[in-house]
Amino acid sequence: MHSAQRDSQVAIPLNLVEAINRALRQAMEDDDSVVLLGEDIATNGGVFRATEGLKEHFGLRRVMDTPLAENLIAGMSVGMASQGLKPVAEIQFMGFIYAALEQLISHAARLRNRTRGRLSCPLVIRAPFGGGIHAPEHHSESTEALFAHVPGLRVVIPSSPARAYGLLRAAIACPDPVLFLEPKRLYRLQRLPVAIDDEPLPLDRCFTLRAGEDVSLISWGAMIHETLAAADQLAEDGIKADVIDVATLNPLDRDTLIATAGKTGRVVIVHEAPFTGGFGAEIAATLASDALMHLRAPIERVTGYDTPMPYFAMEQQYMPRVERIVAAAKRCMAY
């Protein structure tokens, strides 16, 4: 559909899951090769209703329910993508994605290289991830670092409705496979203005959400919510924080991260995943290598713990809290 036929650049209030739905709908209207598949996504609209109403609008040939078989979902997606379609597959929870690793790592991420550019693999795998909703075991994973280690596989994580809308549209248009991880704790947290029919947001870029010159707070996904709240508290004490949303973990926008470290000289990295081997370690290593002479204090990491995500009674004790982020920033300031 030509842009003149739409309400161009209209900002409407959406929560994050509604923004996902709008991005999928618009991508399917723009390109007949975009198809959706996943468990219960057609008739039921998905476990979080992210695909609600799309089967009725586009039909079962483009919005397909699959068996409960993640390996099959990923394998079908690779086959579709190699033959001219643009599949957007949903894995119900990130904790169920491990059965699909063979297809994603050994095939989707390698197809362009394997065929020396003859074939590409334009697919998107959507998966809700992270804790904070009192879910049972296997429903609260944050293993994004595992996938960021795979060459050829983009890892994208939105942190607001507007970034969910813009980044998902960009992911669907991307000629390479994208793992699009949706922080389900933010799905219905708040409605914020989203510019419908705006240009897709750029992949492979960090976003500066708040400017400051005293300390850099770097995060992604749901933890951006606590990170911004920590920046507000620090501002009350006269500490101005630069807040960076990483957004795309692979490939990583190292230039923006090096620039913020150079500006403030103090860095706090925040993520929900466990401490050891978390993606924050990659960022810290980058800054230690390329911004060492600008640092005024050791890099701080505020993360989950090296344990499985606990059941809901202890879940909030596991999640990084605002006071931990504030304390880490103040340690940097005092160093």
Domains 8-195 and 207-334 share a fold: yes
pTM, 2 dp: 0.94
Place of tokens 């929560």: 15
Place of tokens 């990483």: 246
Task: Mention the CATH class of domain 8-195.
Answer: alpha beta
CA 259 to CA 212: how far, in whole Å? 12
User: Could you read off the pLDDT of 160-179 as tens digits, one per residue?
Assistant: 999 999 999 999 999 999 99
User: Could you read off the pLDDT of 232-249 as tens digits, one per residue?
Assistant: 999 999 999 999 999 999
Place of tokens 């997606």: 77
Three-state SS at 319? coil
CA 53 to CA 276: how far, in whole Å? 41
Percentage with pLDDT > 90 across the chain: 90
Catalytic residue flag (residue 138)? no
- The DSSP annotation for 67-89 comes to -S-HHHHHHHHHHHHHTT-EEEE
Enumerate the domain spans of the chain. 8-195, 207-334
Tokens standing for residue 153: 């596989």
Asked, as a colleague might, if the bond just before 251 is cis with ω within 30 of 0, I would say: yes
Task: Mention the CATH class of domain 207-334.
Answer: alpha beta
- Determine which one of 107, 139, 225, 271 is catalytic: 139
Quickly state the pLDDT bin for 9 (edges 50, 70, 90).
low
